[in-house]
Structure 1
Amino acid sequence: MKSIIARFALAPAILALAACGHSPTVPEKQIMSDGLISDIRSSAHQGGNDLLSAGLGLEGLRGGAPAFADPANPTVPELRRRAIYSSWRGIADLGPLGGYGEVYGAVPRVGGREFTAFAQLDGATQPHRVLLQLPDDFDRDKRCLVVSASSGSRGIYGAIAFAGAWGLPRGCAVAYTDKGAGSGYFDVATASGVSLDGARAVRGDAQLEFAPDPDESVSELNQVLVKHAHSGDNPEADWGRHVVQAARFALRALDQALPDQAPFTPDNTRIIAAGVSNGGGAVLRAAEIDEGMFDGVVAIEPNIWAGEGGRALYDYATEAALFAPCALLDRRFDNVSFARINAAHPPAWVTRCQTLQDAGLLSAGDTGALAAESLLRLQANGWTNDLLVGAATTTALDLWRAVSVTYAAAYARTGVAEMPCGFGIAAMDAGNLPHPPTAIEAAAWWSDASGIPPGAGVGIVDTLALAADRSWPGTRCLAQLWSDPDARGSALHVSVQETRASLPREDLPIFIVHGEDDGLIPIAFSSGPYVKWIEANGRRPSFWRVANAQHFDAFLAFPGFGDSHVPLLPHAYAAMDRMWAHVFAQESLPGSASIATTPRGNGPLDADQLGEFPLR
């Protein structure tokens, strides 16, 4: 511990210098109507700073990240542009072979206004962001509003490549919520976080997206505080409330923006809730508490735990973190991207097989036999070979551990105290050692980070990483919180149970789309059991299962990986088209179907490879 403390020994001096000349402390926040704790900030966006791509267009989004003129002090427009760029790049396949803009999708210039505020749910300790994008050509006759939640733990623009790309060019207003997560990281050394406009500010000078109470004792391991992990809330339990609140905020902002058309209400405005991944789970959770707010719900590859059946994300993520590295060494995955390094087994995965044997969790002999045994164990718990093919990227990029570390802290509600299993979060240098973040590093967190470290120069401190298999001790500890809960594990179980779904409103139209090869949110653990359960209780959702589609369209741009898959976004846009036709033209929603597709191969995507369904 002393070495970590020494690295931050200058923090008090830095903080003292930063405090000079501060303006008066901002007033204590008060929750206003619709949960707002700040005024609504409005801004105009035209031409080179438009709503959909901040002026970048498709070619700009395909290029390198837009630069900051002064990297330590980026302007608000620069931060917004790069946040939108990062959100697009994190969701869509914009590679030269992916077909975006040619086979499906488009990034037209959409002028308009943005309205944004901080809001807070009753019972929560920390605020979150809500945002409305209102295009200049808003269709005042149809009065369409799309409400979305960020995918993963991304910032406020985290759903722009789906909800924004579909809704804004159609003349719909689009509302977003970060659902209690986001990239407004807090730097303990300088007591600085992110203000409403995206710029960094010292606690006390402005309302911040996330800031701990000054009297809270922060673990020395947590030198960068991430809202999803460190808020002390369990945001996932409130995803549905976040989406409903974003809808209410949007109606209020529309009243403010278009007073001649006010009031905007659920009775005179068509509202579709739509989201991807965690955002997809969020809109399904909103469907449980909807009392006439929504006209339809579209959930893409949703992270959802059915009221009966299925598995919780934490359950299968910790299982995969333990066993997938060894299982993917089985010979049937020899040709899978990310499962080999220059045709050789990843050394860390070979070590994992031996670790599992040493721990008594596997008993076979050589590496091949251990891999086969690990695979059989995963298969017995619902993992198919196709799912593991999709999970190869998640495993190679160590995303199972990253997800488990962040979610464990949220579920255990450890706040800024020590995270479960001795983990922490800090800025990392080139040698992956904690260091005080520079002004340049911190300035880019809000625009570049995904909300779950590692990334954007922020990484995971693992105090248990001492053995040959460095990630094993901490990973097994995280898994044991679920399988053999002690006092802290019991608290984790309670929080996970709070995320279990209830039935949606009985007459609410629901459309779900999920890739058969999704290796992060497997269809067998999430939307498959969810659909079966709600159908058994009288609901009639439309459910598209898409062959050869996995979780991260953005990963399809990796060399070789996209050859075996198709993107899921075309099917997501098509589902929105069908829901639009149902809501505005009373056309029947399509029945559930398995959509046969053809893997892209090593050439550019062709429309015929996407299967039989209407393209946008």
Structure 2
Amino acid sequence: MHELDIGTVRTTEHRGHDDLLSAGLGLTGLAGVPVPFVNPLDPTAAELRRRAIQTSWKGIADLGPLGGYGSVYGAVPDVPGREYQMFAHLPGAHAPHRVLLQLPDAFDLHKRCLVVTASSGSRGIYGAIAVAGAWGLPRGCAVAYTDKGTGAGYFDYADDSGVALDGRRAKRGEAELEFEPPPEPSTAGIAVKQMHSGDNPEADWGRDVIQAAQFGLAMLDRAYPGEAPFTAQNTKIIATGISNGGGAVLQAAGLDHDGFFAGVVALEPNVYAAAGGRVLFDYATEAAIWLPCALADTRFDDTPFARGANRLPPPAWLLRCASLREQGKLRGNTLAEQSAHAHQYLQQQGWSGQAMATAASTTAFDLWRVIAAGYASAYLRRGPTDMPCGFHYAPTSAGLLPGVTDPAARAAWWADASGIPPGNGVGLFGGASVSPDPTLVGEDCLRALWTGDRPAAQMLHASVAATAAKLPRTDLPLWVVHGADDGLLPTVFTSEPYVAWLRKEGRRPLYWKVPHAQHFDAFLPLPGFGERHLPLLPYGYAALDRLWTHLYEQAPWPDSVPVPAGQPRGAQALTRQALGLD
């Protein structure tokens, strides 16, 4: 493995009213209103960190009153310690990825443990704290994070500013920035690292995770010089992540042939096995076009997010059926016939009825188009002014049209934004027409990048092929946990073909396809959603607990583990019995 060069490291102490796991907020504060800034136009580094941790928790965990976090499963104890943070550089990459080590004061030198993780989705450096931090820090493990080339270090050409190592805004040339794109006119809009770095970040997720672990070991050497060196031979390195972070740790596992990792637990991973399955860009562009019409079918009348207050599908979904009929892609002259045909088409492509139902939320929030537009730009290595299909990012005005950046929103981007616009005063524009179905032209263009054979489509396919996971070593303990109802990363396209491929190649992965769990635990407090589903986090924690007993208590690694027989939460508060973990 390529050795990591250690550059400028920012070290901070976190004790008293500012700990590692919740920045002093505790469970109640994490679940509360956004932490205010004394000066919203110029928040301090400590304020930004506190709110970034709060935002990251809220983006992953169900902290609602019925969700059971902190009482049925999980906990947010006070964990004092230190943080070490740096911009790390992969050989050949244009932009760095941010790495962070959280080292608890109660680090167990007798059971040396380093948990390494990558952010979920496109989030920033704390994006996996509710997974890796919540499990590892209280038991005395150090936890190393990477943003894997994503994050909300947005660059605003309006004032030529980006994000410095401490999370605060800085102008080009004033400090090393998380992302510093080539110069453009002040009207060029907003540049985002994942989409505009000129790299293919997803292809490097595995190397990012390995560098984060190397950084963690180096910082342990720095913190405990008398106990150094910390190596994979004397410190167990456990890799875990959720969603894109889950895919990242599986990519890293495929690069480990020398026993670097002691074990891997991946939750609902965005993983692509070249031997089977489908890549996210493929089914996201398909879903963006077809799901609005399919979800207008009457079988989804009781599905959360599929109907408005009038109990009817959104008008845009009805117009989509008409557009597809006009294009000759659908048969039937009535909405019932057209939506039924769209549903049938998606079933033939591998979509289950439950995945489609859960994906109503993703469709209602327009996430398919958002994901496809951003990922297309990353795969094609485009900049902020030449994104595919005419898309671009720009500040939003009060009317949701391109406008001028809100200085307070810009100051908080690093803490508040998800890493993939729109949101927090940044909009996704372009890829639209003046028609009753304005977004279809952009979605058709994005779909053609997958189904077509023009040079751009060929380049995109090559970039996607580079993201395929490789086989992990034969003796690596590996556990994949995925919700059976996942509508964003359906198991049939992701975990199932990956696990089948591993087993065919003689590996022994454990696999839990958890009934009633879906992709977004953070959506469970929404009306009608939590009643039908279960959170996935407790099953990930359980898998990590089982890995711990194998690594530190010599429990045998099983060939299989029965999938817990959980039940939907219903209208009452979550119970341990509902999870089926006892």
Same fold by TM-score greater than 0.5: yes
Show the counterpart of 2:276: 309
Matched ranges for 1:85-104 at <5 A: 85-104=54-73
Q: CA deviation at 1:257?
A: 1.1
Aligned length: 578
Among 4, 25, 34, the alignment partner of 2:4 is 34
Whole-Å separation in 2 of the counterparts to 1:75 and 1:317: 38
Q: CA deviation at 1:33?
A: 5.7
Q: 2:64 is matched by which residue type in structure 1?
A: G
Task: Work out the percentage of aligned pairs sharing the same amino acid.
Answer: 57
Q: CA deviation at 1:83?
A: 0.3
Gaps of 5+ in 2: none
Is the CA contact (8 Å cut-off) linking 1:307 and 1:533 kept in structure 2?
Answer: no
Show the counterpart of 1:329: 296
Whole-Å separation in 1 of the counterparts to 2:283 and 2:556: 36
Whole-Å separation in 1 of the counterparts to 2:409 and 2:317: 32
Whole-Å separation in 1 of the counterparts to 2:168 and 2:405: 16
Matched ranges for 1:17-56 at <5 A: 34-36=4-6, 38-56=7-25
Whole-Å separation in 2 of the counterparts to 1:354 and 1:529: 35
Whole-Å separation in 1 of the counterparts to 2:278 and 2:112: 38
Among 465, 487, 493, the alignment partner of 1:525 is 493
Q: 2:305 is matched by which residue type in structure 1?
A: F
Among 175, 198, 220, the alignment partner of 2:144 is 175
Alpha-carbon displacement from aligned partner over 1:30-86 (angstroms, at most 9, x marks no partner): xx96144x3111000012111000011000011101011111000111000000000
**Residues 1:503 and 2:471 are matched in the alignment:** yes
TM-aligned CA distance change 1:59 to 1:329, over 3 Å: same
**Residues 1:318 and 2:288 are matched in the alignment:** no
Among 418, 439, 444, the alignment partner of 1:471 is 439
Show the counterpart of 2:191: 225
Whole-Å separation in 2 of the counterparts to 1:524 and 1:33: 37
Show the counterpart of 1:260: 226
Show the counterpart of 2:88: 119
Q: CA deviation at 1:593?
A: 3.5
Matched ranges for 1:197-208 at <5 A: 197-208=166-177
Show the counterpart of 1:63: 32
Q: 1:506 is matched by which residue type in structure 2?
A: T
Q: CA deviation at 1:592?
A: 4.2
**Residues 1:289 and 2:258 are matched in the alignment:** no
Show the counterpart of 1:8: none
Is the CA contact (8 Å cut-off) linking 2:86 and 2:100 kept in structure 1?
Answer: yes
Whole-Å separation in 1 of the counterparts to 2:128 and 2:464: 24
Whole-Å separation in 2 of the counterparts to 1:562 and 1:381: 28
Whole-Å separation in 2 of the counterparts to 1:128 and 1:270: 23
- Three-state SS of the structure 1 residue aligned to 2:524 is helix
Q: CA deviation at 1:463?
A: 4.5
Show the counterpart of 1:394: 362
Among 551, 567, 570, the alignment partner of 1:601 is 570
Show the counterpart of 1:552: 520
Q: TM-score, normalised by structure 2?
A: 0.98
Q: CA deviation at 1:345?
A: 1.2
Alpha-carbon displacement from aligned partner over 1:160-205 (angstroms, at most 9, x marks no partner): 0000000000000000000011110000111100000000000100
Show the counterpart of 1:300: 267
Show the counterpart of 2:239: 273
After TM superposition, the structure 1 stretch with the greater mean CA deviation from structure 2, 482-491 or 420-429, is 482-491
Alignment RMSD, CA only?
1.3
Show the counterpart of 2:212: 246
Show the counterpart of 1:235: 201
Whole-Å separation in 1 of the counterparts to 2:137 and 2:247: 22
Among 430, 436, 442, the alignment partner of 1:462 is 430
Alpha-carbon displacement from aligned partner over 1:486-542 (angstroms, at most 9, x marks no partner): 221111111011111211111111011000000001000000000000100000011
Alpha-carbon displacement from aligned partner over 1:236-268 (angstroms, at most 9, x marks no partner): 001110001111010001111111211101110
Among 185, 206, 212, the alignment partner of 2:181 is 212
Show the counterpart of 2:164: 195
Is the CA contact (8 Å cut-off) linking 2:205 and 2:252 kept in structure 1?
Answer: yes
Whole-Å separation in 1 of the counterparts to 2:89 and 2:332: 53
Q: TM-score, normalised by structure 1?
A: 0.92
Q: CA deviation at 1:606?
A: 1.1
Alpha-carbon displacement from aligned partner over 1:258-290 (angstroms, at most 9, x marks no partner): 112111011100110000001000101101111
TM-aligned CA distance change 1:186 to 1:285, over 3 Å: same
Show the counterpart of 1:409: 377
Is the CA contact (8 Å cut-off) linking 1:219 and 1:418 kept in structure 2?
Answer: no
Whole-Å separation in 2 of the counterparts to 1:507 and 1:288: 12
Show the counterpart of 2:414: 446
TM-aligned CA distance change 1:97 to 1:154, over 3 Å: same
Gaps of 5+ in 1: 1-31
